[in-house]
Structure 1
Amino acid sequence: MNELIKIVEAEYQDVRAKMPDFKPGDTVNVHVMIREGNKQRIQQFKGIVIQRKNPNTNGETFTVRKVSNGIGVERIFPILSPNIEKVELLRQGKVRRARLFYMRAVKVKLPGLRKKNSSGGAVKEIRWIKILPNKILSTCPALCRVRPVQRLTSRLQKGC
């Protein structure tokens, strides 16, 4: 029985050796095999690693988060999945936590407002609004009065 376990673990060690050493906070590009009927294609999922669960086990997973069109998308990938073609490490981030769930309170970049500077040229001003999760909004009555982003962005564009 021990020989069988050693054979299986040795097989998985080869897969682990191909993976780059990435940590939470790193930006990665995961190439995933997607099967649609008879067709196969590779889909890329680029985002920030939020967490790694069950490290150094066969059930190890990692969660990647990206913001697409203002909507946060998270995906959980098993390290030993045969559907993962490769994982590219694009940028290393420096964080002080192992679980980056605070990244779910996303900052959204609004369309820039243009103002004229003293020399007459237009300067683009970028405004950031922090979107808070619904749980926080429902527990804090002061934050419940915050308007939805659509109304807030239209007011900012009008100059209020």
Structure 2
Amino acid sequence: MNARINAEEIIRSIEAAHMKSDLPEIHVGDQVRVGVRIQEGGKERVQAFEGTVIAMRHSGCNRTITVRKIFQGIGVERVFLVHSPRIDSIQVLRRGKVRRAKLFYLRNRVGKATRIKAKTDSKEETL
């Protein structure tokens, strides 16, 4: 039992070293822009992928998000490992108001049917 606890502590310490701390809070339904580092030849550049988060999986160092966008009438989905060194940045452009954990039903919809309502703060600021 003692060896098991030590192994878990070692795994947690290794994962903590690889976790990013500057990530925004991401939810399913959010419109995000993910900057991905790409190597072409000897050069490295950052390519932006903008779309809607339709799924989130796992936790900790293994957290992934699935982002979907429509490009020239064709749906494109990419799965990003959030804490990967290949991910340069993640920006939340717009918060979405959804009532599901997975938005796979968007795959069957086209055009305006794929829109998601924007989340608004219901708390009014008082002076």
TM category (shorter chain) comes to 0.7 to 0.9
**1:109-151 deviations in whole A, cap 9, x for unaligned?**
xxxxxxxxxxxxxxxxxxx6x7xxxxxxxxxxxxxxxxxxxxx
Q: TM-score, normalised by structure 2?
A: 0.76
Equivalent residues, number: 107
Identical aligned pairs, as a percentage? Answer: 44
- Partner residue in 2 for 1:61: 64
- Report the CA distance between 1:18 and its aligned residue: 1.1
| Aligned partner letter, 1:43 | Q
Pair 1:96-2:99 in alignment? yes
Pair 1:10-2:13 in alignment? no
- Partner residue in 2 for 1:84: 87
- Partner residue in 1 for 2:74: 71
Shifted more, 86-95 versus 35-44: the winner is 35-44
CA distance in 2, matches of 1:39, 1:12: 24
Q: RMSD in angstroms over aligned alpha carbons?
A: 1.8
Residues 31-50 of structure 1 correspond to what in structure 2 (within 5 A)? 31-50=35-54
CA distance in 2, matches of 1:6, 1:70: 43
> Which structure has the larger Rg over C-alpha atoms?
1
- Partner residue in 2 for 1:20: 24
| Aligned partner letter, 1:60 | R
| Alpha carbons of structure 1 residues 39 and 24: separation in structure 2 relative to 1, 3 Å | same
Higher relative contact order (CA 8 A, sep 6+): 2
CA distance in 1, matches of 2:88, 2:60: 20
CA distance in 1, matches of 2:109, 2:40: 32
Residues 124-143 of structure 1 correspond to what in structure 2 (within 5 A)? none
| Aligned partner letter, 1:8 | I
3-state SS of paired residue (2:26): coil
3-state SS of paired residue (1:10): helix
CA distance in 1, matches of 2:12, 2:100: 34
Are the aligned partners of 2:35 and 2:48 in contact in 1 as well (CA < 8 Å)?
yes
| Aligned partner letter, 1:63 | T
